[in-house]
Structures are given as structure tokens and as C-alpha cells.
Amino acid sequence: MINRLKRLTLQIFKQHSLPRGMVLSIDITAVFIAFLISYLLRYNFESYTFSWSIAIVHAFLTCTVYLAFMLAFKSYVGLIRQTTVKDMFLIGVTNTSSVIFLVIITVCSRQFVLPQIFNIPMSILLIHYGAATISLVFFRVFIKMFYMYASVPSSYRKNVLIYGSGETGIIVKRVIESDPKSGYQLKGFIDDNTKLQGKKVDGYPVFPKSVLTRDFIETERIETFIFAIKDISVLKKAEVLESVIDLGLEILDTPSFDQWLNGNLQVKQLRKVQLEDLLGRDPIDLDLKRIGEGLENKTILVTGAAGSIGSEIVRQLTKYNYKLLVLVDQAETPSFFLNNELRNKYQACRYKLIIGDVTNYLKMDFIFRKYRPEIIFHAAAYKHVPLMEKNPHEAFRVNVGGTKNISDLAIKYDAEKFVMISTDKAVNPTNIMGASKKVCELLVHAQARRSGIATKFITTRFGNVLGSNGSVIPIFKRQISEGGPVTITHPDITRFFMTIPEACQLVLEAGFMGNGGEIFIFDMGKPVKILDVALKLIHLSGLEPYKDIKIEFTGLRPGEKLYEELFSDTEQQLPTHNPKISIARVAEADYECILPKIHETLQNIYNKTGPEVFQAMIDIVPGYTSKHAATGKG
């Protein structure tokens, strides 16, 4: 019966709202009645002690003044069921202005002996001021509370803990309470401030972090944990999130102020915590002046521009005062989406988007000849280890051949900088993809050593980036959404991880460091077990590993390492001014022979067998071996 009444009430609320004229009429009626009650209160309800006719005249005068200020401040305009603090403030301003004006009229009537209708007792004005304000506020609060009661199903609301009882935490609390559809019910705050623990903030208890145990969560039936602290280090935030991830809670994060809609936070903006939030990395400190000067009024070419890394490099470049971005990618659909993003989100971006294959020398030469790029970020490459292991011709043709074409053209057209994106899989490679990228590193180093060239060649090397196309994170998320199982090749396999924006920021930084010929290595932090990544993603999805989602181990794939490295045994690590970037001093190699070997392999590559391509890699890359070359498979 109650639920049926609530549904009927909610339907009425949705289909109808009080017209402004009716709200204004209700407000004026409330002011009129409050004035007469104020008269009775002033005279202790002894109505025979005053003239009702004078009281009614005074009431009409008061209503006239209040009406004028209501129209001026539009205190009746807001939707009653969505009353906010701003609406309350407008009522206060309207009523205060009205009573001040009435006091002035009364003082003037006494000073200049005006008719009695203008001489309202001060005590009645003050009593009425309080009564009218309470009446108007109560009317709005009553309607809003009734609407909230009707909007939220009486059977279920999620119990919430908010981490942080400061300004942001209180804002989140009030947003939750003001949104009847949020489905959340606050149980209290968590705060590290010992002076607040055990007390109440905005009517709710403040608990220490030590209460975050399974017993407490189950006893209080907590289902959601909202992180709501603005000024906190990323390491501390990651520590807090790690402490609750195993409790089976829905974990939400509060966006930064600049992401709020029109300066107001909404419940729908509370986002689920991402794996990136658990990395606990300090913000990257970039030399913005050096980067800005290096890009000033330059034409910049980005290959692989529609890929995960390439597109993020493009986003980072939009912040600078460049001349033109020339964006090249052979993938039509990703390029289409990149074009839409640039048009919609970066309307001031000056760019040319070109569909083209970096292995097509004539097409690339046409692009260089037409646009004359001065800075080149070469991100185009094949990257999937198992696929490349089965397609060695394509790994060499695209990764090595594309790099050779673009680097040759950079020299031909006197480009200032050539920055190549490499990978940690190029260190002591065990697969064709890593070996092809190591060949690219050697190729770029050989180009840098050529005499009489103006181009500075830079190589950047880093590990896996979170969320890149085809990486383990999107695969795990898809497997979890499908109910599992989550597949992992080995329980002890580890990888380095960083976010795509982090990686691309460091690419820009490294691009304008050094004198050319360097391999810059990014600080990836500590290696992370892939199993731990899977467990955290399952927890962040609100599920229990092994119970809700099974985990299966499938065995290492061909060419896959148990762990990755950022430096080989023959490379010396040197520091730079940026603590997150090091230089790998590579061992000397026979660079004069590298370019001819690459050229010979690329010539008529499809007339070569798979084992011959593998063998060519072995001949170029010191220490690389392949069972395919030995067994004749491929």
C-alpha cells in the first residue's frame, strides 16, 4: 500500500510541477498568515487589545513589500522539489530586505507623523520576520523531503562510508542526500585526523581507518566506499585504496573540481576507482619550457597517430604552440575516431590526418616533401607478441622497414628530431616482436652515427601501458564482464606498467633532452605480478576472485618472458636531470654492417622463408636466438 502510494506520488511529481505564479501566491499567503499570527503572539493572543482592521491593513502593506522583493530577487522561481542552499539564501535575502524596508517605513512614519497604517510595531516586524522565514523554508523542505521519500525505493539503499570529512567529503555527503535517486545512505566518515575521530561532522560519526575490517563492514552492512579527499599524495591515496580493495566494497572516487558540471558535483560523476589509481605514482614534473621551446612553431609528424600511444602523444601536443600536426596511420576506423575527437574536443588543433602506410616509401616521401616536418614521433609498429611470432615477415617489414623509411626521410628532408618509441621487450629479446624493435633501436643508433646529418635521433624505451589497445587490462575487463574465467599465462609472470599519459609525457620530455643517439629509459616503478592485476580488477568490479570469477593459467606463449627488463646486461644506466628518465649507454656494435643487413632482409622479403627471417634477426641482434630458426619452422 505504501509503495503504491509512493509510486503514485512520484508519478504526480514527474508529470506536474507548481507554476511559478502558484508558488508566489503560496509564499504571499504564508507571509500574510504569518503576519496575523505575529500580531496575536505580540499581544499574547488577547485579540481584544488591538484593532483587527489596523492589523489587516498592516498585513497587506507587509505583503506588498514582500511581494516587491520576491519579484526582484525571484525567490519563487526554483523547482520546489529540487530546493538547494542557494534557494534558501534567496529567501533569506528577500525577507531581510523586506523587513529592513518596513523598518525604514515605520521610522519615517514616526518621524514625520504619517498615517497609522505606516506605523507597524517593531516587535511585530521582528516576530513576523522569523515566522515568515521559517514558513517559507519549511514549505520547501517539506516538499523536497516528501519527494525524496517518494523517489527512493523503501526496500533498498546502499550504506556508504566517505573517506575524508573535510570540505570535499561534506560536499559529497550533501550531494548524496540531495539526490533522491542516488540510492545511497551515509553511515559515517573515515578520517585520519585523531581530533575528529569519535565526533560528528554534519550529523554523522567520524571513524578511524582502523575500523575498516570485514567485521565492521558486515555489521554495518557497508556496500560502498567513496574517496573524497582533494589534497593527498598519490602514494597515500593508493595505500588507502589498497586497504579496502579486499573488503568486497564498491569503491568510488570523487573527480577533481575542474571536472564538476558547471561547478557543481553530481552523484553520476562519482566514478569507479581504476587500476591506475592503485599504482601510487607521483605526478611527473616536466620541463615545460624546454618542450615548449622545442615545439614552438614547428611542423610535427606523428606516425601511428591513431594508436594508443600515438593518439595520446597528439593530445599532449595540442597544449603547445606548434605550427601543424601531420598525423599518419594506416588504420581507417581508428583514424576516423581520432579525427572526430580532435574536431570535437580540440577545436583549435591545427592538423592534417592522412591515411598511409609507413612501409610505403613513395607515400611517405610525398608527405615529407609536402609538409616538411621538423619533429617526428615514430609510434607506428606491430606490437602483439603471439601474432608477430607467427608472422615474422610482417614484424620485420612493418617495424623495421617502417622505421627505416621514416628515418631515411628524416635525414633526406633535414628534420630536426626523430623520436622512436621502443619497448622493454627489445631488451634481451626472446620473441620476434622484441627482436624487431631491438633491430629498430640499432637502426636508429646507426642513423645517428652517420656523418654530416642534421637530424638528432632519439629512442625512448618503456614497458606496458595501462589500457592500450589489446593489452592485458582491457582483455581482463572483458573476461570479467563475461563472467570469466580470467586467463593468465603463468602465476609468477610480471610486467612493468605505467599509464598512457605518463608514457607520452615522458616521450615529449625525452625528445628534447640530449644531443641525439641516446636511448632514454623511463622509470616504470616496480614490476607488477599479472595475477595481482587480475585480482584487483575483479575486486574493483565488486566480485570475489575464485568465487565469482575463476582464474585459469594457460602456460607461457611462444616467445613470452616470465619477466621483462628495461636494461640489458651490456648496457650502463646513466642519470638525467629528470629522475624518471635514465639513459642506456649501449655496447658498441658493428653499425656499418647493420644498415646493409637490414636493407638485404627487406629486399624481396616475401621470397624468404620464415626461418630465414628469424635467422636475419639473429644475425643483426646480439644474443637473440629462436627455435624457429633452429628447427626450420615458420
- Which residues are marked as active site? 425
Measured CA to CA, the distance from residue 586 to residue 441 in angstroms comes to 10
188: left (phi over 0), alpha (psi -120 to 50) or beta: left
Do residues 555 and 489 make contact, with C-beta atoms less than 8 angstroms apart?
yes
Do residues 190 and 169 make contact, with C-beta atoms less than 8 angstroms apart?
no
Radius of gyration over every alpha carbon of the chain, rounded to an integer in angstroms: 35
DSSP 96-147: HHHHHHHHHHHHHHHHTT--GGG---HHHHHHHHHHHHHHHHHHHHHHHHHH
Helix (H, G, I), strand (E, B) or coil at 347: coil
Do residues 268 and 204 make contact, with C-beta atoms less than 8 angstroms apart?
no
**Nearest CA-CA partner of 327 in 340, 347, 309, 311:** 311
DSSP 201-239: ETTEEEE-GGG-SHHHHHHHTEEEEEE--SS--HHHHHH
What are the CA-CA distances from residue 171 to residues 265, 353, 480, 481 (Å)?
A: 8, 43, 33, 32
Task: Show Cβ contacts of residue 324 under 8 Å, excluding neighbours closer than 6 positions.
Answer: 299, 300, 350, 351, 352, 371
Apex CA 126: angle with CA 120 and CA 131, to 5°? 115
Measured CA to CA, the distance from residue 405 to residue 426 in angstroms comes to 20
Give the 3-state secondary structure of 77-93.
CCCHHHCCHHHHHHHHH
Give the containing element (helix H, strand E) for 21: helix 20-42
Other Cβ atoms within 10 Å of 115 Cβ, number: 8
- Cα torsion angle, 493, 495, 500, 502, sign: positive
Do residues 362 and 403 make contact, with C-beta atoms less than 8 angstroms apart?
no
Do residues 560 and 517 make contact, with C-beta atoms less than 8 angstroms apart?
no
Cell of 392: 615474422
Do residues 551 and 534 make contact, with C-beta atoms less than 8 angstroms apart?
yes
Give the containing element (helix H, strand E) for 184: strand 184-190
What are the CA-CA distances from residue 524 to residues 3, 74, 423 (Å)?
A: 55, 57, 12
- Cis status of the peptide bond prior to 485, with omega within 30 of 0: yes
- Terminal C-alpha separation, the chain: 73
